[in-house]
Amino acid sequence: MPGQIFYRERARIGKGQKRPRFMLVAITGLDMKVYGKHLRKSELEQIAKAAGAKLVLLKGGEGKQKGKEEVEVVG
């Protein structure tokens, strides 16, 4: 299975702004160090192509309760 690169859209960045719009969240199945945190889509695609990885866009929550639900950690 190829490695995966997980990323999401940044909260306060809109289309058309001249700032990187995506944030790198996690990498699995690859031995890779990434020094940039905020990247452009074209940069993510170039990294994924060179590493033979798959890009996975994470979807955010909706509404005012975003991030306030309780999460049970098992381990």
Tens digits of per-residue pLDDT, 17-45?
777 788 889 899 999 888 888 888 899 99
CA angle 53, 39, 36 (to 5 degrees): 90
Q: Is the pLDDT of residue 66 over 70?
A: no
Q: Can you give the pTM of this predicted structure?
A: 0.70
Report the C-alpha gap between 37 and 26 in whole angstroms.
10
Length of the chain: 75
Return the pLDDT at 20.
Answer: 77
